[in-house]
Chains A and B, each alone.
Chain A
Amino acid sequence: MGVGERLATSLTVNGTFHQVDVDSRTSLLDFLRETLGLTGTKKGCDHGQCGACTIHINGQRTLSCLTFVAMHDGDAITTIEGLAKGDELHPVQAAFLEHDGYQCGYCTPGQLMSAAAMLSEPWGPDDADVAEAMSGNICRCGAYQRIVAAIQSVRQSEATS
């Protein structure tokens, strides 16, 4: 590949509008981390296998490593930095704290972005459904049982409220 061309791209990240010229080969993940300095989104494998880079594009969870930022002109993106409302944690963030849903924490931003999105996806009620819904987020520490418990506590409180 030669010198990258630059493409004018406008997108909203966590409610802030950005108008930028980007190298057309830049992944959305690298743009978020290196250009905007939003380093909460993690680079694990950079191959779409680990889920550490999970973000929301127009409300849907996706992998920021497997897409070019220049393909997202006009899109609204939410990263882990935009999940809480100010000092008020998103319910899945509070539940991960309550249930100790992590050890080293490297996969946690991706886990949280997946967990927040799955609340509005068509999944069944069981622990096995949560495990399937979350299978794209690898935790090498093995906090899976606590992650499932955290997510289930949010789903159950939402179901009764």
Chain B
Amino acid sequence: MTRVDDFDAALHAHTASAHYCAGGTTLIDLMRQDVERPERVVAINRLPLTAIDDAPDGGLVIGALATNSDVANDPRVRAEYRVLSEAILSGATTQIRNMATTGGNLLQRTRCIYFRDSHSACNKRDPGSGCPAITSYNRNLAVLGTSEHCIATNPSDQNVALMALGATIDVRSVSASRTILIDQFYHLPGDTPQRETSLEPGELIVAVTLPSMPGWRSHYLKLRDRQSYEFALASAAVAVRLNGATIADVRIALGGVGTIPWRAPEAEAALRGKAVSREAFRAAAEIALRDARPQSENGFKIELAKRCLTQALIEVTA
């Protein structure tokens, strides 16, 4: 383990076989199960990245090491970005949210049981070894964005909310800094399910920025097998700007059903300029799920996600 307390040390400590460790809640769990086997852990939990600051042009800059609890309970997040607070508080438990970080949550790994069992084949963990989930247990896996190589669900709640808010991700490497729009951050599995994000080796997430959204309201609705401490079967993150009873603008993302946090731009387009109504919301939900492909056990998720999105839109516009 290399412990670092400044950026330069962190960035220079990283090698191809090293792994940054922030809160540890994903990485250490997977190391214990022999799924992650980094030759070196670079402990970055002391980097000065815990602040949540007002952005100069409005909006909020959330340090990559701000804990999930600190973000969810921040008064500005609760007031202006309710969907993010609700999404984070609907996931994991207080103990885990007190440890898990904003940047770490962006990189949270799937809960697919074959990925997490080092004795099973898995194209994400061991490329080319096969995907037992497609022919076996897949009840909780994805119906959107799947490929013949991988159908694993992205498990995060936070990232679905960040998708609906149009967040940007600031990353830094030894040689450069860049900002990635969250819509461009996640990779569909395709034939490289091991490559989950556009983060390059050696790049470190330093912050997540939320845009200024005056006049918007937002909401997260999560449906699951158990009322607490459970991953989504389907969830919806919605943000809307109303002009009277007309939808001036809307952003929609779905969780629990996609291989990545799933933005639904065509459903958004169908709602812009429409009057608020259950029928319009249901029609948008049909559009959001029209490309869904059920696996052997998870077809129920398609109707569940439609109802979830419809209900989330009803609640956010009520």
Residues of chain A whose beta carbon lies under 8 Å from any beta carbon of chain B: 1, 5, 7, 24-25, 27, 46-48, 51, 54, 60-63, 66-68, 70-71, 73, 114, 117-118, 121-122, 131-133, 135-136
Contacts and interface: CB of A to CB of B under 8 A. Distances in A.
Residue with the greatest number of chain B CB neighbours at <10 A, chosen from A27, A68, A71: A71
B95 A136 contact: yes
Contact of B99 (A51, A67, A70): A67
B29 A62 contact: no
A132 B227 CA distance: 8
Interface residues of B, number: 26
B136 interface: no
A63 B99 contact: yes
Nearest to B43: A71
B36 to A, nearest CB: 11
B228 A24 contact: no
A136 B94 contact: yes
Contacts of A122: 73
A135 B98 contact: no
Contact of A136 (B23, B32, B96): B96
20 contacts: A5-B1, A7-B1, A24-B41, A46-B32, A47-B32, A61-B94, A61-B95, A62-B95, A62-B99, A66-B29, A66-B96, A67-B28, A68-B24, A70-B1, A70-B3, A71-B24, A114-B94, A117-B94, A135-B229, A136-B95
Contact of B94 (A5, A7, A67, A121): A121
Contact of B95 (A70, A71, A114): A114
Contacts, number: 75
A132 B230 CA distance: 12
A71 B1 CA distance: 9
A135 B24 CA distance: 20
B311 interface: no
Nearest to B70: A60
B43 A132 contact: no
A51 B24 contact: no
B94 A48 contact: no
B1 A66 contact: no
Contacts of A67: 23-24, 28, 99
B21 interface: yes
Contact of A68 (B43, B69, B98, B228): B43
Nearest to A59: B98
Contacts of A7: 1, 3
B1 A48 contact: no
B25 interface: yes
A1 B23 CA distance: 21
Nearest to B25: A66
A147 B29 CA distance: 28
B45 interface: yes
B1 A51 contact: no
B24 to A, nearest CB: 5
A145 to B, nearest CB: 15
Interface in B29-53: 29, 32-33, 37, 41, 43, 45
B93 interface: yes
B28 A66 contact: yes
B98 A27 contact: no
Given A63-B99, A135-B228, A136-B229, A68 B94 contact: no
A27 B28 contact: yes
A64 B118 CA distance: 24
Contacts of B21: 68, 71
Nearest to B228: A135
Contacts of B227: 132
Contacts of A60: 69, 98
Given A63-B99, A114-B95, A24 B1 contact: yes
Given A47-B32, A132-B228, A68 B1 contact: yes
Contacts of B95: 51, 54, 61-63, 114, 136
B96 A118 contact: no
Given A66-B96, A67-B23, A71-B43, 15 more contacts: A1-B37, A7-B3, A47-B29, A48-B25, A51-B95, A61-B95, A63-B95, A66-B29, A67-B99, A68-B43, A70-B1, A133-B94, A135-B93, A136-B93, A136-B229
